[in-house]
A = this chain, B = another copy of it.
Amino acid sequence: MSKLVIVGTVAFDAIETPFGKTDKILGGAATYIGLSASNFNVDSAAVSVVGGDFPQEYLDLLKDRNVDIEGIEIVKDGKTFFWSGKYHNDMNSRDTLTTELNVLEHFNPIVPENYKDADVVMLGNLHPLVQQGVLNQMTKKPKLAILDTMNFWMDIALDDLLSVIKNVDVITINDEEARQLTGEYSLVVAARKIQEMGPKYVVIKKGEHGALLFHDDNVFYAPALPLEEVFDPTGAGDTFAGGFAGYLAKTGDFSFENMKTAVIYGSTLASFCVEKFGTERMQNLTDKEIYKRLDQFKSLTQFDIELT
């Protein structure tokens, strides 16, 4: 089976949306990526760190979904990374209420020995030096390195970010961040500039407006499924990345054509994620549900035009 290395936070989140609020629940980029990638037949390992306060049941939950947790360091006398946020009424924007780095502050990622030759590495949103640290531990160059990041790192660690960006094949980034990174408003121009920075493939995430995949002069647009109700957008971007990476790891085909399909898988999985609070919807998703929704994506976008 293909191997997938996932690096990112494993965390506590407290979330408030117009529909309700939660106490500290399971969150973190690596969590969402791992749960999403677990829908594909791959060996995946999460590389992260938690404190002694992190419940065993959360670790078990990941293990039960076939995410290898050997690479999740437990700092017994430390506290787990904690984020809390409140979404506005439109669910498209949010305020961060709390960010407690805790054990993340001195995180030194360790890739499990038997994952150092993984074909695919998914670098979830974390300090670019941590992302580079994971790449450095790989004994052979991964066939595909994917990087997710956010504006925070552009603000405080741009040089480190630009260094690691040089070393990856794909970047996933949201529209505002693509604009910030390049100073370009047009996403077409922004994507071209990002390709010049290193990644041959650029995925621009637009939330409820879908995602764009750029490569050379090719562009592919995957819509987001219009939903009756968005309950909690937390983790949607990571779930997208997990579906994208998981599908590519499973198929081992890193062509533009196959990446289009990977983007659709990512969008499909993200559409489930937002239906419930936190990771709830992702914990027991079935293949049947996924296939049904993929079918909806097909009818959502497919049309026939005879060009003469």
Contacts and interface: CB of A to CB of B under 8 A. Distances in A.
Nearest to A291: B307
A58 interface: no
Interface in A218-235: 218-223, 226-230
Interface stretch (A29-37, A66-74, A186-194): A186-194
Contact of A261 (B228, B301, B303): B303
Ordered nearest first, which 8 A-B pairs have the shortest CB separation? A209-B209, A221-B223, A260-B303, A301-B301, A188-B228, A188-B226, A221-B300, A291-B307
Interface of A: 89-91, 185-189, 206, 209-210, 212, 218-223, 226-230, 257, 260-261, 264, 291, 294-295, 297-305, 307-308
Nearest to A214: B226
A186 B221 contact: no
A143 to B, nearest CB: 22
A264 B307 CA distance: 13
B302 A187 contact: no
Given A305-B264, A305-B294, A307-B295, A300 B219 contact: yes
Contacts of A302: 301-302
A181 to B, nearest CB: 17
Contacts of A209: 206, 209-210
A223 B226 contact: no
Contacts of A300: 219-221
Contact of A227 (B186, B226, B291, B295): B186
A228 B214 CA distance: 13
Nearest to A92: B185
A221 B301 contact: yes
Contacts of A261: 303-305
A152 to B, nearest CB: 22
A229 B291 CA distance: 37
Contacts of A90: 185
Contacts of A303: 220, 222, 260-261, 264, 301
A227 B257 CA distance: 21
B295 A186 contact: no
A13 B298 CA distance: 41
B230 A226 contact: no
Of the candidates A209, A261, A291, A303, the one having the most CB atoms from chain B within 10 angstroms of its own CB is A303
29 contacts: A186-B227, A186-B230, A187-B226, A188-B226, A188-B228, A189-B228, A189-B229, A206-B209, A209-B209, A210-B210, A210-B221, A218-B299, A219-B300, A220-B299, A220-B300, A221-B226, A221-B300, A222-B303, A223-B223, A260-B303, A261-B303, A261-B305, A264-B303, A264-B305, A294-B305, A294-B307, A298-B305, A298-B307, A301-B301
Nearest to A226: B188
A261 B189 CA distance: 28
Nearest to A295: B307
Contacts of A206: 209
